[in-house]
Amino acid sequence: GAPDVTLFTARSTFPAFNGWKMTVLLEELKAADKFSSGGFNVRELDLDKREQKEPWFLKINPNGRIPALVDHRSNDYAIFESGAIMQYLADVYGEGFLLPLDRAARYDVLQWLFFQCAGVGPIQGQAHAFLRYVPEPVPYAADRFRNETRRLYEVLDRRLERSEYIAGNDYSIADISLFPWVAYHPWAGQDIGDLPSLRRWCDLIGARPAVQRGLEYN
């Protein structure tokens, strides 16, 4: 059958953290039989050829970035921004899986999802940039973003001292959103050896078959 949704992500020589959030979530939904027989489709844009800036894609995502999603079961509804896509997929296809229906539990998940989207992602992304990609060293910026990434990791470690998963006792889109970033912590100059709860969680999430399949994209 035809796919339920199409994800637009990146074909790139660099890790596509926000794309991995999507492919892991799609694999988890598929493993839980949340899609029809057509499942989902993944289209990898060639960022080196600036395919994400072409007019047809800008109609899907006016910001010209990955990821973006088209829901074929809802009249080809298009949505962009990784956090919004994750909430959409969990709401429309999850039916309580990965995003609880109970209001308090739901917002426990959403606050940590937004913590990733507004905190860990942008800050760690800048750490990657200043540690790896700039043409000449900018020590102040490299130190600032590396140290702030460490502070955010310490927040996560303290949280995970009290619960098995980020948002409580159940696995959720909050875990999926954070995992690719934390799993690649050396890219941001981080060592989580002295953050035992974060390390435990990283091993727990990384052992999930759908997570492993999701990371095989890109």
pLDDT in tens, 6-48: 999 987 777 789 999 999 999 999 999 999 999 999 999 998 8
Tens digits of per-residue pLDDT, 115-147? Answer: 999 999 999 999 999 999 999 999 999 999 999
Q: Closest Cα partner for 154 from 184, 200, 123, 196? A: 196
What global pTM score does this model have?
0.96
Q: Closest Cα partner for 131 from 120, 123, 122, 143? A: 143
CB hemisphere CA count around 83 (13 angstroms) = 16
User: Which DSSP category does 155 fall into?
Assistant: H
